[in-house]
Amino acid sequence: MKSKNIKIEKAAGTGFCFGVRRAITALEKAAAEQGSIETLGAVVHNRQVLQRLAGLGVTVASTLDDVKGNTIAIGAHGVGPEVAGEIKSRNLKIVDTTCRFVHRAQSVAQRLSQSGFFVVVYGDVNHPEVKGILAWAGGNGIATLDAQQIAGLKPLPGYIGVVAQTTQIPANFNQFIKDMVDIALRRDSELYIIDTICHDIRRRQESAQKLANKVDLMLVVGDHTSANTNRLAELCGGLTKTYLIETAAEIQPEWLKGHHHIGITGGASTSEDTITEVQDRLENLRNRSIPA
Ligand code: SF4
């Protein structure tokens, strides 16, 4: 059967988010001016982007001890105050590409901690952004995705401030807050909640869900290690058959079998070029004979 009747549709708002675009522009500029630039860890979680930047002279230093030059770039995920202090004490020049939404979450965590709140960061404890936010709370806090972990604290802190990793799913954060309210009300604690989820992520998730509700197959394009890409796949996967792919080459022709409407969306660090390649390959496969 010819599959030319398969409809292919792209979600609104794909391509780099504001923070990633800004970070890439700053690195390209620094590399062009200095010949090369080192970043502390991967500046974004996307292999294709890192490969392209490497070609322009942007290299990754895993730790500050690995830095060879006199300038270091901090990625969109930001760093904690100890790392920032260490960079200063080594007299390294900084190209700071910390996203303003991450910066806000860091400032909020610091402010809450300084005001006597125990800071709960709703997020993945192993993610660099979360580690940085928690570090700005000065050790007075915890990162978790499970409210029961807070319930288990003995004693439960009297004043608890809650913020979120910028890329978390708003509905899941809402549920976490409801659970936190239940815990706090049982134990006389006071809660202060600040929503620090990024606006781009909120819009991206909404448009992906809207499309996933209409299609019978969804492709989420992005790095397998990217937190926000995984969230998109999680959300779409709850609504329709979904695959997470890094590049167009990963699409298997059999995936199209029996499907009539295919949706495409991408993570915040997935370039529009990669999305276009996925769209082109789907259109190519659509025009081939695929058994029904
Ligand atoms: S996803 Fe949001 S918080 Fe993260 S870099 Fe992009 S704009 Fe900033």
Active site annotation includes 250: no
pLDDT at 243: 98
CB-CB contact of 119 with 137 (8 Å): yes
Residue where a domain stops, chosen among 193, 224, 258: 193
Contacts of range 28-32, beta carbons closer than 8 Å, 24 or more positions apart: 28/53, 28/56, 28/58, 30/71, 30/73, 30/95, 31/56, 31/57, 31/58, 32/56
- Ligand 1 and 99: CB distance under 6 A: yes
Print the domain residue range for 233. Answer: 7-15+199-286
Ligand 1 atom closest to the Cα of residue 17 is 6
Cα distance between residue 56 and residue 59, in whole Å? 9
In a domain, 292, yes or no: no
Using the 8-state DSSP alphabet, how is residue 156 labeled?
P
Q: Would residue 251 count as lying in a domain? A: yes
What percent of the chain stands above pLDDT 90?
88
pLDDT in tens, 115-173: 999 999 999 999 999 999 999 999 899 999 999 999 999 899 999 999 999 999 999 99
Q: Quick one: average pLDDT of 102-108? A: 98
Contact between 58 and 39 under an 8 Å Cβ cutoff? The reply is: yes
Residue 146 belongs to domain with CATH number: 3.40.1010.20
Q: Is 150 in the pocket of ligand 1 (CB under 6 A)?
A: no
Residue 2 lies in a domain: no
Q: How many CB atoms lie within 10 A of CB 181?
A: 13
**Residues 10-23, mean pLDDT to the nearest whole number:** 96
129 lines ligand 1 (CB under 6 A): no
For residues 203 and 281, membership in a common domain is answered with: yes
Per-residue pLDDT band for 292 (boundaries 50, 70, 90) equals very low
- Asked if residue 211 and residue 148 are part of one domain, the reply reads no
Q: Which two tokens stand for residue 281?
A: 């390959």
Distance (angstroms) between ligand 1 centre and the Cα of 86 equals: 25
Residues 111 and 185 reside in one and the same domain? yes
* C-alpha closest to that of 83 among 98, 104, 100: 98
State how many domains the chain has: 3
Same domain, 189 and 110: yes
Tell whether 88 and 153 lie within a shared domain. Answer: no
Residues 207 and 278 in one domain: yes
Q: Give the pLDDT of residue 115.
A: 97
| Per-residue pLDDT at 187 | 84
State pLDDT tens for residues 227-286. 899 999 999 999 999 999 999 999 999 999 999 999 999 999 999 999 999 999 999 998
Q: With respect to residue 24, please indicate whether it lies within any of the assigned structural domains.
A: yes
Burial of 200 (0-12, 13-18, 19+ CB in 10 A): buried
Is the domain of 129 the same as that of 189? Answer: yes
**Domain assignment of residue 43, yes or no:** yes
Residues 95 and 105 in one domain: no
pLDDT, residue 4, reads 66
Domain with residue 28: its CATH number is 3.40.50.11270
Residues 79 and 145 in one domain: no
Question: What is the average pLDDT value for the chain, to the nearest integer?
Answer: 93
Contact between 122 and 176 under an 8 Å Cβ cutoff? The reply is: yes
Query: Is 51 within the bounds of a domain?
Result: yes
Regarding whether 106 and 189 lie in a shared domain, the answer is yes
Read off the pLDDT band of 2 (50, 70, 90): low
Residue that is last in its domain, among 65, 99, 133: 99
Are residues 225 and 236 both part of a single domain?
yes
Query: Based on the domain organization, do 118 and 147 belong to the same domain?
Result: yes
Among 55, 83, 99, identify where a domain stops: 99
Of 16, 20, 45, 205, the residue with max ligand 1 atoms within 8 A of its CB, to mutate for a pocket test, comes to: 20
- How far does the centroid of ligand 1 lie from the alpha carbon of residue 76, in Å? 7
* pLDDT tens figures, 61-103: 999 999 999 999 999 999 999 999 999 999 999 999 999 999 9
pLDDT at 174 (0 to 100): 96
> How far apart are the C-alpha atoms of 267 and 226, rounded to whole Å?
8
